[in-house]
Chain A
Amino acid sequence: MSDVVEKTLTALPSLLSLDSQPGSAKLSSNSKLGNLIRGITELTSKHEEEKLIQRELLLIKEQVSSPNTTMKQMKELMVRAIYCEMLGYGVSFSYIHAIKLAQQGNVLEKRVGYLAVSLFLNEGHELLLLLVNTVLKDLQSTNLIEVCMALTVVSQMFPKDMIPAILPLVEEKLNHPKEIIRRKAVLALYKFYLIAPNQVQHIHNKFRKALCDKDPGVMSASLHIYLQLIQENPEGYKDLAPSFVTILTQVVGGKLPMDFNYHSVPAPWLQIHLLRILSLLGKNDQSTSEIMYDILDESLRRAEMNHNITYAILYECVKCIYTIYPKSDLLEKAAKCIGNFVLSAKINLKYLGLKALTYVVQQDPKLALQHQMTIIECLDHPDLIIKRETLELLFRITNDQNVTVIVEKMLDFLRISKDDHTSMDLVGKVAELAEKYPYKCFSVCI
């Protein structure tokens, strides 16, 4: 038996005697889940696993249908069912009981019921309709935890046709004194917008209110909706550009509470989100882009720490600078940034640098030229992923002079590629190049 499995088994007895502390492995000696897992871990073959799970499924099936099963037991049964389905064994007989658990259980049992439903069912499932009444009831509960749960489940899956029934209740939550409720209500509305946009047309002013919410979490949640809306119709939201710039300025300037920091970087994923929104708004629009230049410059400056997350922000920043209306000194700084990535010894950064180069190279072919030695080195890099990304880049800068070499390198890669999808994509590219430069490619392809 392997080391890992041995360690698992030897650790089990000590875990069984642990005091129950919040968060630590809660195992009681009569935990059926514990027994199941221990049972699986002891097995050595797939066939034996199948036998054990089939036995377990029969047991679960019997117990969920029994009228004597308490909600507490049902909760445990659901977790075992989730576990079995995770291993690939269908537990459709327990779906209805998951819904019942969400309906009838206490707070913890209800949460597990909702969890099971979100894992077992999918968007169009007929059983989902049965959940609607439970969700409606929980949305009106005086217990805020239950309201949160209901909003979470609504954001994950909800039958499109029942949106009118629930919409007023969710809208009402937008004014709730607790930020978590407001935040989850916004996310629920985002879900509604994704599955039935015409149903939420009338409440766009409420999205604006969420954007201006004093709580950064609620404001963050509204950005999901805005990113979607702006992708579909950037013209309609240019007037919000100053607001997004102001928000990003405040975030970068460290105005958010400390717990929004990740390794001393203020709300990095929020920064990335805002940068994406600004890209969409500033594209091909000089006046809108002009209000962004300062904060983009500041972001480039601030993100100088040596941490992956600051590099991730820098990447988005650079993309934004190259997408919006060009400003030469910003472009210069962004180009330098890309250069640093491509030249980095850290392989993840090199990859990001190549990806950024691929993105900007049509706008700035000189940049690729500047780094051509590094690009050539990357062509022979031992990591196939780097090689592949380099070929992607080269495809974009093909011209009369270099097409022969580039097609040769692509054919070399095709000989060693084991991934069908990559091969197909490359073959497509070679074909495209052959069509564009027929005389040059003829000799290579024979």
Chain B
Amino acid sequence: MRRVELCCVNCWRNVRMIKFVLMVNQQGQTRLSKYYEPVELSRRAALEAVAVRCCLSRSKHQCSFVEYKDFKLVYRQYAALYVVVGITHSENELSIYELIQNFVEVLDKYFSRVSELDIMFNLDSVHIILDEMIQNGHIVETNKSRILAPLTAIDKMADG
């Protein structure tokens, strides 16, 4: 690897992945959480609280990437909801920033203009959609029709 990256104290900088995806509202209530590496239940609440505090304390004029512990947070605000994605240092922040937008656009397509309530009451569907986009912390699908195809097929079968 490049000397630049080896300069850093920890070698984790060479790993590139998404660590978690959170959807949290301004009150700090988690609406969705998905972890791509094992994180103990007891540690999650604290992590989510800090993540949302980090994002809430930033202004519109500051950048959407925050350093937190030994990784980074990429966040984006939609009305009262924050989508926060934890990434390792070597991940491309701006590409994740747009991935969040793509995710929200997919939700918009599925729910016809998604709201926080849609996410709350259809937690399973939102998870299924996210599963199609990100697996093992890597982006596996970004084509909107392909992301929605499995869920739409399931819905059709369920409606009979």
Give the interface of A toward B (CB within 8 A): 2, 4-5, 8, 11-12, 15, 21-27, 31, 33-34, 37, 79, 82-83, 85-88, 90, 106-108, 111-112, 115, 118-119, 122-123, 145, 148-149, 152, 155-156, 180, 187, 190-191, 194, 217, 221, 224, 259-260, 262, 267-270, 272, 308-309, 311-313, 315-316, 323, 347-348, 350-352, 355, 358-359, 362, 382-383, 385-386, 388, 396, 419, 421-422, 425, 428
Contact = CB atoms under 8 A, between A and B. Distances in A.
A23 B111 contact: yes
Contact of B139 (A83, A269, A428): A269
Contacts, number: 192
A383 B110 CA distance: 37
A34 B139 CA distance: 32
A269 B124 CA distance: 26
B80 A4 contact: yes
Contacts of B97: 308, 312, 348
A434 B38 CA distance: 39
14 contacts: A25-B111, A33-B121, A88-B45, A108-B158, A112-B124, A118-B131, A152-B150, A191-B136, A269-B99, A308-B97, A309-B94, A313-B95, A347-B61, A421-B69
B104 interface: no
B4 A79 contact: no
A85 B97 CA distance: 27
Contacts of A315: 92, 94
Contact of B122 (A25, A191, A382): A25
A421 B66 CA distance: 13
Given A88-B44, A115-B131, 4 more contacts: A26-B121, A155-B136, A221-B140, A358-B4
A383 B145 contact: no
Nearest to B3: A362
Contact of B33 (A86, A112, A351): A86
Nearest to B97: A308
A47 to B, nearest CB: 15
Contacts of B63: 347-348, 350-351, 383, 385-386
Interface of B: 2-4, 7, 9, 25-27, 30, 32-34, 38, 41-42, 44-45, 61-70, 80, 92-95, 97-99, 102, 110-112, 116-118, 120-125, 127-128, 131-132, 135-136, 138-146, 149-150, 152-155, 157-159
Contacts of B142: 262, 267-270
B113 to A, nearest CB: 10
Given A122-B38, A350-B63, A268 B154 contact: no
B92 A309 contact: no
A31 B159 CA distance: 17
A44 B27 CA distance: 12
Contact of B27 (A2, A11, A267, A270): A2
Sorted nearest first, the 6 A-B pairs with minimum C-beta distance are A312-B94, A312-B95, A108-B158, A383-B62, A88-B45, A347-B63
A124 B133 CA distance: 24
B67 A388 contact: yes
Contact of B93 (A24, A118, A351): A351
Contacts of A355: 93
Given A34-B121, A88-B45, A145-B154, A123 B38 contact: yes
Contacts of A348: 63-65, 93-94, 97
B157 A82 contact: no
Nearest to A107: B157
Given A4-B26, A34-B121, A419 B67 contact: yes
A388 B26 CA distance: 26
A312 B117 contact: no
Given A26-B121, A419-B67, A308 B138 contact: no
Contacts of A79: 123-124
A8 B111 CA distance: 17
A348 B74 CA distance: 11
B4 to A, nearest CB: 6
Given A88-B41, A419-B68, A187 B62 contact: no
Nearest to A279: B2
Contacts of B44: 88
> Which of A85, A88, A115 has the most CB atoms of chain B within a 10 A radius of its CB?
A88
